[in-house]
Amino acid sequence: MRIDILSAVPGLLEGPFSDSIVKRAKEKGLVEIVVHNIRDWSTDKHKKIDDEPFGGSAGMVLTIQPIADAIAALKSERTYAEVIFLTPDGEQLKQGAVNHLSMQGNLILLCGHYKGIDQRIREHLVTREFSIGDYVLSGGELAAAVLTDAIVRLIPGVIGDEQSALTDSFQDNLLAPPVYTRPAEYNGWKVPEILRSGDHKAINEWLEEQAVERTQDLRPDLFEKDS
């Protein structure tokens, strides 16, 4: 799988993919992540990529040409399953959509900036739009990093223990149960006895109960949703 990220501020994306699970996935050849500077495609003599909005509201708008040419150049090299625009007015990102995207082909992620991008890019070139929550970020880069991380960890072979991604919070609309490690007692704080019983059937029942209880307490809304 290849993920191409188009950004006006590519420096923001230097960190998130160079450590931990995403780094390992790249090293294993399971994913290729390429960050592009939209400016590289600008045909303007000053490499301009934005302009004032028609109608005269505040802020600058990313122009069509560099973005359209960047997408065309990428599409001439390989096929893409989706062109995704990260925007606060997009569909709220949920695990269900992430699962789906992790099984598609290559992806283009387009990061907005300034006041936004020319609406015609969204109408004619973008196939899906996601927001990562009801708050405003300075640009789509951090959201693109969130989406990329969430997708990459689901690619088969990326996480060593195959079970691990399936037991994440949200995978069955339940929050994950609590986890503990050694020591069994610290400062008088004890690990629940059941986890040390060796009775795997009882342990699994307890974990399931904990997941349901935690979800009921912390995120009861998850019981009413199917993605």
Q: Which of residues 42-101 bind ligand 6GU (CB under 6 A)?
A: 86-88
Burial zone of 114 (CB within 10 Å; 0-12 exposed, 13-18 middle, 19+ buried)? middle
Q: Please list the helix, strand and coil fractions of the chain in percent, rounded to the nearest 5, in that order.
A: 40, 20, 40
Q: By C-beta, is 74 or 146 nearer to ligand 6GU?
A: 146
Which region, judged by CB under 6 A, interacts with ligand 6GU, from 43-51, 53-61, 136-144, 151-159?
136-144
Could you give phi then psi for residue 89, rounded to 5 degrees? -95, 15
Decide: is 133 part of the binding site for ligand 6GU (CB under 6 A): yes
Q: Residue from 135, 187, 189, 201 that binds ligand 6GU (CB under 6 A)? A: 135
Q: By C-beta, is 12 or 70 nearer to ligand 6GU?
A: 12
Q: Which residues pair with 128 in a beta bridge?
A: 84
Helices 141-152 and 95-102: crossing angle, nearest 10°?
A: 70
Q: In the stretch 137-156, what mask flags binding to ligand 6GU with x, by CB under 6 A?
A: x-xx--x-------------
Q: Residue from 42, 63, 131, 173 that binds ligand 6GU (CB under 6 A)? A: 131
Which region, judged by CB under 6 A, interacts with ligand 6GU, from 102-110, 126-134, 176-184, 209-217?
126-134
Do the beta carbons of residue 141 and residue 9 sit within 8 Å?
A: yes
Q: Which residues pair with 117 in a beta bridge?
A: 62
Q: By C-beta, is 88 or 177 nearer to ligand 6GU?
A: 88
Structure tokens at 1: 């799988």
Q: Residue from 132, 145, 154, 175 that binds ligand 6GU (CB under 6 A)? A: 132
Nearest residue to 144 via CA among 6, 2, 1: 6
C-alpha 69: how far from its chain's center? 24
Please give the residue ranges that form the binding site for ligand 6GU (CB under 6 A): 86-88, 112, 131-133, 135-137, 139-140, 143
